[in-house]
Amino acid sequence: MKKTLVAALFLAGLPAVSPGQVVRPPELPPPLVDTLKQPTGELLRQTEQLQQQLAEQRLREQLAALATLPDPLQLPAVQDILTLSGEPLWREVEVEQGFRAIEREWLLLLTADEWQALQQRWPELAGYLQRQQPLPALQLTLVTLKVPAALDSASALAQQFSAELLRYSGRNHLYQPQQQASTAAPQAASQSKASMCDWPVSLGMVDTDINTELPALAVQSGHFNLVARRFLPEQLAASYAHGTAVASLLAARDPAITPLLPQLTLYSAAAFYASNAVQQSASLEHLLTALDWLASQPLQVINLSLTGPDNPVLALLIQQLQARGLSLVAAAGNGGPAATPLYPAAYPGVIAVTAVAPDMTPYRWANQGDYIDFAAVGVRVAALTANGQVQPQSGTSLAAPVVSAAVACWRAAQPQLTHQQVYQLLMQQARDLGEPGKDPVTGHGVIEPPLETQL
């Protein structure tokens, strides 16, 4: 028994004792003695301070780990786009001013006779030919060239051929939608309290595919009719997020969404694909073919919730559409107040739309500038996701359809109106914010449903 007790004391770190020996408690280290002597409140304070330090240390470690992960909003400088079976379709690359394009692809937009004349003047152009396709509605030809790396710039092309070639040509740039999903709770989403108008309306848009399997966007006679066409390779996976959100603002039948156009025929041209899990892109080539198709449809208004760089080919096509009397409404961009103008919104005659919050404060990421025409609520807007959930979403992409709906209502009610006349009516409808008159933040003011008509 004595040996067992001695062994137990040894293992416990206490001295062995003999029977009858008086045992004194061990002396505690001075710091621990001081701590025990402190008031309870001071102990709690030190404990909380230690917990905070540990939490801050864990946060620093988590942030350091996150910093090593790729940013989903920052695409790599070079990226291959693959088919469903893993075969490469084309390569995205970063080009001038940080924009993106299809690697070494240049587009020419001209008549068939002009293309024939260019080939006779410079026979080597035929060696760079990738594709040649007619744009029948606009009576133009779209030519896609794949140039050598040594000619992959405007200055190199001008030197090799002449500056005259640049009148027809531009990079096969990539354009992106202007929408951001909100992290706010679903109940924080706002919705329009009224439709823009209640009469039958036709509207075109270039966007991603639309998930028509959702009950809220099912075709229904007298309410929603969809005429859709896809302008992407069949072997490329479809992308649904952005187009579904925009279409839901226009026509969804959901308790959380008041449709802007409850009697809508929507002509949807799908030209966007997924660059990664969160970003969509559309090449200029696909945008041009999509817009040519829309130009052949019975509509007067096209919504363009997308932005990108200035491009001579895009500018020429926009002019051709405007010459046909079409009204083009485009998102101003989510580049921030100091960002340079984005296109097509910044082209003359295109209605550039920025976003404001429901309390009429400007969207913090919206572009600003003299080219801004109007604003609409585009912050924390209730819209459908690709899987049918209603979530708050933000961006000038969500504001543009509001103004497109207003323009479409006017042009449906009075088809004889010109684009310029409709623009004047929008100015009368707009709710001016800030100093009187047009400004670079909200343009002429905010467009809100319902449409105030004098019919």
Q: How far apart are the first and last CA of the chain?
A: 109
Rounded distance between C-alpha atoms, residue 399 and residue 204, angstroms: 16
Q: Which residue in 242, 283, 292, 327 is the catalytic one?
A: 242
In sequence order, the 6+-apart residues with CB closer than 8 A to the CB of 265 are: 200, 201, 202, 203, 225, 226, 227
- Say whether both 168 and 193 belong to one domain: no
Tokens 């990664």 belong to residue:
276
> What is the pLDDT, as a whole number, of residue 434?
78
User: Looking at the domain assignment, is residue 444 inside a domain?
Assistant: no
Q: Which residue in 207, 209, 254, 292 is the catalytic one?
A: 207
User: Looking at the domain assignment, is residue 437 inside a domain?
Assistant: no
User: Looking at the domain assignment, is residue 37 inside a domain?
Assistant: no
> What is the pLDDT, as a whole number, of residue 164?
85
User: Looking at the domain assignment, is residue 10 inside a domain?
Assistant: no
Q: What are phi and psi of 425, to 5 degrees?
A: -65, -35
* 34 counts as catalytic: no
- Say whether both 361 and 257 belong to one domain: yes
User: Looking at the domain assignment, is residue 222 inside a domain?
Assistant: yes
Domain endpoint, select from 144, 174, 204:
174
- Say whether both 189 and 102 belong to one domain: no
Based on the number of CB atoms within 10 Å of its own CB, is 86 exposed (0-12), middle (13-18) or buried (19 or more)?
exposed
Query: Are 105 and 129 spatial neighbours (Cβ–Cβ below 8 Å)?
Result: no
Sheet hosting strand 351-356, strand order edge to edge: 224-230, 264-270, 201-207, 301-304, 327-331, 351-356, 374-377
User: Looking at the domain assignment, is residue 358 inside a domain?
Assistant: yes
- Say whether both 381 and 257 belong to one domain: yes
* 242 counts as catalytic: yes
- Say whether both 330 and 216 belong to one domain: yes
- Say whether both 339 and 362 belong to one domain: yes
Query: Are 438 and 393 spatial neighbours (Cβ–Cβ below 8 Å)?
Result: no
Query: Are 93 and 78 spatial neighbours (Cβ–Cβ below 8 Å)?
Result: yes
Domain endpoint, select from 152, 174, 196:
174
- Say whether both 198 and 220 belong to one domain: yes
- CATH of residue 279's domain is 3.40.50.200
| Diameter of the chain measured on Cα atoms | 120
- Say whether both 407 and 304 belong to one domain: yes
- Say whether both 285 and 409 belong to one domain: yes
- Say whether both 359 and 257 belong to one domain: yes
> What is the pLDDT, as a whole number, of residue 410?
96
- Say whether both 329 and 233 belong to one domain: yes
Q: Which residue in 192, 268, 397, 404 is the catalytic one?
A: 397
> What is the pLDDT, as a whole number, of residue 181?
55
User: Looking at the domain assignment, is residue 35 inside a domain?
Assistant: no
Q: Can you give the pLDDT of all 455 residues of the chain as single tens digits?
A: 444 444 444 444 444 445 555 555 555 555 545 555 556 667 777 777 787 778 777 766 665 554 444 444 578 999 999 999 999 999 999 999 999 999 999 999 999 999 999 999 999 999 999 999 999 999 999 999 999 999 999 999 999 998 888 888 999 999 999 876 544 444 456 667 799 999 999 999 999 999 999 999 999 988 999 999 999 999 999 999 999 999 999 999 999 999 999 999 999 999 999 988 878 999 999 999 999 999 999 999 999 999 999 999 999 999 999 999 999 999 999 999 999 999 999 999 999 999 999 999 999 999 999 999 999 999 999 999 999 999 999 999 999 999 999 999 999 999 999 999 999 999 999 999 977 899 999 999 999 999 976 44
Domain of 229? Answer: 176-429
Domain endpoint, select from 174, 191, 219:
174
- With vertex at residue 430, the alpha carbon angle to CA 427 and CA 436, rounded to the nearest 5 degrees, is 85
Angle between helix axes 396-413 and 419-429 (nearest 10 degrees) is 120
User: Looking at the domain assignment, is residue 54 inside a domain?
Assistant: no
Model-level pTM? 0.83
* 275 counts as catalytic: no
- Say whether both 192 and 330 belong to one domain: yes
Domain count, the chain: 2
**Distance of alpha carbon 17 from the chain centroid:** 79
SS3 letters across 338-388: CCCCCECCCCCCCEEEEEECCCCCECCCCCCCCCCCEEEECCCEEEECCCC
